[in-house]
Amino acid sequence: MENRRVVITGLGALSPLGNDAASTWDGMKNGRSGVGPITSMDVSEYGTKIAGEVKDFDPKPFFKNPKDARRMDRYAHLGIAAAKMALDDSGLEHADVDRDRIGVMLGSGIGGLGTLEDNHTALLQRSPSRVSPFTIPMMISNIASGVFSMEYGFGGPNMAIVTACATANHSIGEAWRMIKFGDADAFIAGGSEASIRPMGLAGFSNMRALSTRNDDPTAASRPFDTGRDGFVMGEGAGVVVVEELEYAKARGANIIAELTGYGLSADAYHLTSPHPEGLGAARCMDMALKHAGLNPEDVQYVNAHGTSTPQGDVCETKAIMKSFGGWSKEGLVVSSTKSMTGHLLGAAGGVELLACLMAIRDGIIPPTINLENQDPECPLDYCANTAREVEIKAALSNSFGFGGHNASLLVQKFA
């Protein structure tokens, strides 16, 4: 069972750069920022007034019964839409397959924050009777995964992982593990987030975690730059379809890349801060390399967690240098697409894996924009400001979450 190979056959995404995978990738490779003034709420009393919002999104077309969309939180709208796009891209829905062997793993770091806020307001300002009977199923983090399985009759393993900003990577990685172990033949896996809400914005802002570069939003997310002052909140979803290789080949699926490595670890250090030497993150990357059977020099590109926080970027750089050794400075290229999307929290890993997959497909490494004065404590090649043409055979995506949760995914050109 452990030798079952796993491939990726479908992609779906919504992000501040666009409402599908193609437009998101187009924005990334062209170095376009999706960050701007927040339009979805009144931010006059907030220190941070900018974010990466998903724009002009209508969830109804992504539900078989459009009325069902009314019973879902925005995070579920985004996740189900991205999952539907990935499913369509893969062609799996219309294949002659056993649906009890298809699993769904759609996670969210925070879940239905908007539903919680709106119904708590109704409770306090009106009465208990004004709280929606759908409040609980709308706000819980597993409901997008559950609803998607109901929509398409997928009776395989169904879970929703919650590991903060590592959620999507863990979801995809655990789907990989279950397929290799033989518990499923295919999975729809990824993450979604919609936390640009009063509580979310105030909570992160009062932690002093967010950038306050309100006068220049497109330049606010600047990983590895000396002028970085915090991350930029984003929202969206990133989902992939992963399948066992022979299963995918038997139905004539288009194989985008092979998922060969998955690493996970804990910092066991601090509630919100990464380990100062990046030890947990390095162990995580080492595990992904080991699973893939690769040496550091076999990897050309790392899509960094790269949040644009003063401490996080330095710690991740140390982790990459520890894991990749001399290759980290000799030939490895690193970039943070969060410089363009902002930080999509529980959805980040799904959208950033898309960047790795498209980088392999097109031979283009997306840039780290806004990198004008590189931090001397971050001495790697971060593909500053302009995309670069490089043949990529293997790429690694990092996601690290509050609580010390680390997850790395390694994908390779299929051969």
Q: Which of 77, 275, 291, 343 is catalytic?
A: 343
CB 275 within 8 A of CB 312: no
With a pLDDT cut of 90, the percent of the chain lying above it is 96
As a whole number, the mean pLDDT across the chain is: 97
Q: Considering only the top CATH level, what class is 6-250?
A: alpha beta
Q: Would the pLDDT of 115 be above 90?
A: yes
Q: Which of 77, 275, 305, 405 is catalytic?
A: 305
Q: Would the pLDDT of 1 be above 80?
A: no
- The terminus-to-terminus CA distance of the chain in angstroms comes to 20
**pLDDT tens digit string along 360-409?**
999 999 999 999 999 999 999 999 999 999 999 999 999 999 999 999 99
Q: Which stretches does DSSP call E strand in 221-325? A: 236-244, 257-266, 301-303
Annotated catalytic, 343? yes
| Mean local confidence (pLDDT), 150-170 | 97
Structure tokens at 190: 């990824």
Q: Which of 165, 315, 356, 383 is catalytic?
A: 165
CA distance 166 to 133: 31
Q: Would the pLDDT of 138 be above 60?
A: yes
- Strands 158-159 and 102-107, bridge-based pairing: parallel
* Banded model confidence at residue 139, pLDDT cuts 50, 70, 90: very high
DSSP SS3 for 100: helix
* Banded model confidence at residue 272, pLDDT cuts 50, 70, 90: confident
CA distance 357 to 355: 6
Annotated catalytic, 165? yes
**pLDDT tens digit string along 280-333?**
999 999 999 999 999 999 999 999 999 999 999 999 999 999 999 999 999 999
Sign of CA pseudo-dihedral 401, 275, 290, 338: positive
Predicted confidence at residue 24, as pLDDT, reads 98
Q: Would the pLDDT of 2 be above 80?
A: no
**pLDDT tens digit string along 59-75?**
999 998 988 999 999 99
**pLDDT tens digit string along 215-270?**
999 999 999 999 999 999 999 999 999 999 999 999 999 999 999 999 999 999 99
Predicted confidence at residue 349, as pLDDT, reads 98
The CB density around residue 115, as the number of other CB atoms within 10 Å, is 25
Q: Which residue has the tokens 């919650």?
A: 162
Superfamily grouping for domain 264-412: Thiolase/Chalcone synthase (3.40.47.10)
**Beta bridge mates, 244:** 6
Domain with CATH 3.40.47.10 in the chain: 6-250, 264-412
